[in-house]
Structure 1
Amino acid sequence: MTNRQHDAHFDSFSSEEASQHATVADALCTGLLSALTPNERDALSRHARLQTYAPGVALFQEGDENADAMLVLSGLVKLCRHSSQGKECVLHLVHTGKFLDAGVLFYEGGLPISAVALQPTTVLSLNRRAFLHTLENNAPLAVSLLGAMSLRQRLLITKIAGSQGRISVAGRVAAWLLHRSKMEKSATLRLGVTQEILARLMGISRESLSRELSALSSAGIIDHKRRSITLLDHDALVQRAQG
């Protein structure tokens, strides 16, 4: 390699490295992480790395001893669990700007869930020990993380109650739409997944979901397109979720 070729290679590598550092720095200033102090942000950046995953690839799996905290920078990830017969239960869909599952910081005896990319996905991985140390010293960040975990727990409680026959299909679909709208801060929801995955997420069959979405569309409560849903009547959805 000539000196000129060596210099060009070095410059290209330096540019890519600088771009990654900039991406990490930006990510550490967004969402829940905006509560970090400059010193905490600097410390975490030394233990952070960008990771990319192709669709279908697991970020972590049931039974793994532990995992680092992961913030989704782009793409879509499903959190799921499998029965002893191999049947998949989709617990949550994690969109851009959200942590995968803060529970990975605390689970003992192996992880109870898997995380699988549904789209080309990039995550910011934060070293588990370093992030736990930050939480111990930053109450606002810890409280914000608890708030995010409580929202997911509420969805899970709704799903469990529904599986026991206490919540109707209409109630489960309405509750999920309202939750997703609150999380995205928008009346228009970009689904990005098939109805089969959405149905598993709600604990109902694909046919039941399709019928309910058609009923909501016919009633003028939502506008349902192939990969998006727009909420048109918020109050009507609240009534169905509570009914």
Structure 2
Amino acid sequence: MSRPMQPSSLALRGIDLLQGLSAQRLDEISRQCAWRHFDASQALIAREQGDRDLHLIAAGAVRVTSYSSGGRETSFRDLAAGTCFGELSALDGLPRSADVVALKSGLLASLPAAHFRTLLQQEWTVTERVLLKLTDMARGMIDRVVDLSTLSVQQRVCLELLKLAQSGEGIGNVARIDPAPRHADLAHMVSSYREQITRELSALARAGVVEKEDGALVVRDLDRLKRIAARPSAH
């Protein structure tokens, strides 16, 4: 459950959007925010919700996701401490376009939309960062639509594993993803079903491309994983 707390400009120093602002400016923004702790798995905002604040993640991590009318979940991105979410509704005043759920417990600072727009008018560096973030989001959505339209589930799974491998440990043609991604989480990321993900990972394991080891997923052949990702699935 959310727990309100006192403002803290110190916690805002790690927010990428606010980097370079003076201590006085951060103090002002801190006082404008509503502060609250949140717990893992807690729903922070819901699609079509009336909330219009910009939410700054001072600590913890969240997942931006959405659910179809049938309950199927599609995840868009995970956000760590130092980032923010809610820019779209804060800018255009329309209802939320996605759900946000906490992955790890943390601390949230919620800046009202009016104060956010004033900040954009007064601080060009913040405005530029918001524009670049929105541009990045748009490009990411275009890439996702293209992937869903042209790639098989097998290819999308391989591409997601390659992304995870880039942030994990690796030597040469081998990479370690620790902990191993949950099948349900992979399904959400590639817009598929958990059962299909299980089949694809089993096929990769039989082919010697991946292997479970001590709670991690080890990619034994990155080059082969890339080749599979580049060609259509055979089934």
Aligned-pair CA distance for 1:113: 1.4
Give SS of 2:58's match.
strand
Aligned-pair CA distance for 1:196: 0.4
Q: Which residue of 2 aligns with 1:10?
A: none
CA RMSD of aligned residues (A): 3.6
Q: Which residue of 1 aligns with 2:45?
A: 60
Residue-pair matches, total:
222
Q: Which residue of 2 aligns with 1:27?
A: 12
Between Structure 1 and Structure 2, which shows a larger proportion of helix residues? 1
Can you list the C-alpha shifts for 1:143-163, whole angstroms capped at 9, x where unaligned?
223333343434433332333
Amino acid in structure 2 at the alignment position of 1:207: E
Q: Which sits farther off after the overlay, 131-140 or 142-151?
A: 142-151
Q: Which residue of 2 aligns with 1:142?
A: 127
Structure 1 gaps, min length 5: 1-15
Cα pair distance change 1:46/1:100, threshold 3 Å: same
Distance, in Å, in 2 between the alignment partners of 1:43 and 1:125 is 13
Aligned-pair CA distance for 1:202: 1.5
Distance, in Å, in 2 between the alignment partners of 1:185 and 1:129 is 40
Cα pair distance change 1:150/1:212, threshold 3 Å: farther
Q: In the TM superposition, what are the counterparts of 1:10-89 in structure 2 within 5 Å?
A: 21=8, 24-89=9-74
Cα pair distance change 1:230/1:135, threshold 3 Å: farther
Can you list the C-alpha shifts for 1:75-98, whole angstroms capped at 9, x where unaligned?
332222222333332222223332
Q: Which residue of 1 aligns with 2:186?
A: 198
Aligned-pair CA distance for 1:55: 3.3
Distance, in Å, in 1 between the alignment partners of 2:189 and 2:38 is 21
Q: Which residue of 2 aligns with 1:130?
A: 115
Aligned-pair CA distance for 1:103: 2.1
Q: Is the 8 A contact 2:34 2:110 kept in 1?
A: yes
Can you list the C-alpha shifts for 1:8-34, whole angstroms capped at 9, x where unaligned?
xxxxxxxx95xx63xx42333442321
Amino acid in structure 1 at the alignment position of 2:118: H
Aligned-pair CA distance for 1:64: 1.5
**Of residues 145, 154, 160 in structure 2, which corresponds to 1:176?**
160
Amino acid in structure 2 at the alignment position of 1:144: R
Identity %, equivalent residues: 22
Distance, in Å, in 1 between the alignment partners of 2:91 and 2:205 is 42
Q: Is the 8 A contact 1:72 1:95 kept in 2?
A: yes
Q: TM-score, normalised by structure 1?
A: 0.69
Amino acid in structure 2 at the alignment position of 1:25: L
Give SS of 1:141's match.
helix
Amino acid in structure 1 at the alignment position of 2:153: V
Can you list the C-alpha shifts for 1:187-209, whole angstroms capped at 9, x where unaligned?
76666973202311221222343
Distance, in Å, in 1 between the alignment partners of 2:199 and 2:109 is 38
Give SS of 1:75's match.
strand
Give SS of 1:119's match.
strand
Distance, in Å, in 2 between the alignment partners of 1:59 and 1:81 is 13
Aligned-pair CA distance for 1:42: 2.8
